Structure 1
């Protein structure tokens, strides 16, 4: 099995669009399509299915994604260990949410390298689980040096730098009563069943905060971890949901997206690191650069 094709597979799974993935990988779209076709022939199951103009993972593809991601992480870790032992170049281990890997963090790293051309550091990217809780635990146990994730306040040894913002939106099934209102508020959603993110999700505390001032509490019908599953349950009429404003939402025919003023820039992403740990000079410089960049929060899209 071709290792490069496996990396192509992960990129396409993250970006959900052949043209965007090919551009990110610096290859042609036919090359990418051929690589994915060869992979599907080898594993003998479909890995992707079309959803509007995008492609998303099938159930088999999701299972394969987890396997490939963990396998390549082990392989990359072995290579990195060799590099650390036999070269003098320091590694900066970054872990990040998938949505931040599409543009935001790679662009930040590029700008840092341009600002600090003398840096010798090798940036090593991870997104093993995609859950902020696991990323912070990875910082605590020295698996990572820096995490780009949601803020979790249960970790006193972690410092957070606000760096990226994102709008949240309300999604409802087609013909939902709220879609007929001229203006909608968060309070208007309280009388309807809702699909929420699980308690391990970084966006869960943000949504809880939105409802904290109301006496009436939301009617939670389902709690799930994946953005796509939240949208899928809404499309099937199980409730409405507040969700980060992702591009894939526009390709789902059975939902309507409602923008609410209260939800603009509601989700803040952070750079997190241990404040009780000695930091390398390159890591200090990168953190200082991030702190300066965060004076004006950038949007992730």
Structure 2
């Protein structure tokens, strides 16, 4: 069975006339008749029956028509997808990201990119560290902004975009709230507001506390930056958050203070599946992000 036979069959079925179909296809009427005849012989069933000067689909023809239309629609979609894959100025980019990067970094980067490439579409999926790795490997996303940057994962590769400092956040009435810097050990008796266990920021904070010589007493847990900030601002504990999570202000804002000992950092990277060629539209965006972050990091 040939693709041309399906195209001729569908055109005849829609126009109910071989001559009209041949005119629409810009081929000889005999070529259309021959292809329809060969298709019926191959299938072993009549697809059309006469209806005056026209043709109408037989019950078998109607069944075959629905399947044939689906095949051609899928083929057209596949061709369009391939064209978009090869076109850096169109198509769709599927990006995964953690919540902490969806507050400021990701929206600003996408906004700048869309200003130069308005026809590019984005599909955004938020997830925790392990969810992002899994969805990347399963092909659900093309790229993932991730923290911490996974140096030891053989299945993925990427670029380290930046290293960011985490700051202590305190209730406004905390005894240390007016300090410009503090040592983390000074908070060993405080109750901590922590991210839940699936979040990488929790591991970073726990490791920093271990280096400071204590295990934090966890009073509350949350899964959103706004929740953590709000609970601390309400006096329910202390926490550590990335600097970019403290850019926005709200009526319930904690006080942020730099930690001098130990210094608490997190790495942020952009990763993809190792050894796999990205769609050109995703590769163009990846290159833009790398240049964008390199420029930001070099600014005084």
Q: Equivalent residues in 2 for 1:155-166 (5 A)?
A: 155-166=153-164
Corresponding residue SS for 1:277: coil
Does structure 1 retain, via aligned residues, the 8 Å contact 2:182–2:261? no
Q: Equivalent residues in 2 for 1:1-301 (5 A)?
A: 85-86=79-80, 88-90=83-85, 91-97=92-98, 98-99=102-103, 100-107=105-112, 122-127=120-125, 129-151=126-148, 153=150, 155-181=153-179, 183-245=181-243, 246-247=245-246, 250-253=249-252, 255-261=254-260, 266-284=265-283, 286-287=285-286, 290-291=289-290, 295=294, 298=297
Flag the 1:281–1:164 CA change in 2: closer, same or farther, 3 A.
Answer: same
Structure 2 CA distance for aligned equivalents of residues 297 and 219 of structure 1: 37
Count of residues in correspondence between the two structures = 211
Corresponding residue SS for 1:103: helix
Structure 2 CA distance for aligned equivalents of residues 123 and 224 of structure 1: 32
Q: Deviations over 1:114-157 (max 9, x none)?
A: 9xxxxxx9442313x34333222210110111011213647431
Following superposition, the deviation at residue 221 of structure 1 comes to: 1.7
Following superposition, the deviation at residue 96 of structure 1 comes to: 2.8
TM-score (structure 2 length as normaliser): 0.57
Deviates more, 1:228-237 or 1:208-217: 208-217
Flag the 1:170–1:160 CA change in 2: closer, same or farther, 3 A.
Answer: same
Structure 2 CA distance for aligned equivalents of residues 84 and 168 of structure 1: 46
TM-score (structure 1 length as normaliser): 0.57
Following superposition, the deviation at residue 173 of structure 1 comes to: 1.6
Structure 2 CA distance for aligned equivalents of residues 276 and 254 of structure 1: 44
Following superposition, the deviation at residue 233 of structure 1 comes to: 1.8
Does structure 2 retain, via aligned residues, the 8 Å contact 1:171–1:240? yes
Following superposition, the deviation at residue 274 of structure 1 comes to: 0.9
Structure 2 CA distance for aligned equivalents of residues 265 and 83 of structure 1: 49
Structure 2 CA distance for aligned equivalents of residues 231 and 162 of structure 1: 27
**5+ residue gaps, structure 2:** 1-74, 86-91
Flag the 1:222–1:282 CA change in 2: closer, same or farther, 3 A.
Answer: same
Does structure 2 retain, via aligned residues, the 8 Å contact 1:170–1:258? yes
Q: What do you get for the CA RMSD once the two structures are aligned?
A: 3.6
1:48 corresponds to: none
Corresponding residue SS for 1:238: coil
**5+ residue gaps, structure 1:** 1-80, 115-120
Corresponding residue SS for 2:182: coil
Flag the 1:179–1:200 CA change in 2: closer, same or farther, 3 A.
Answer: same
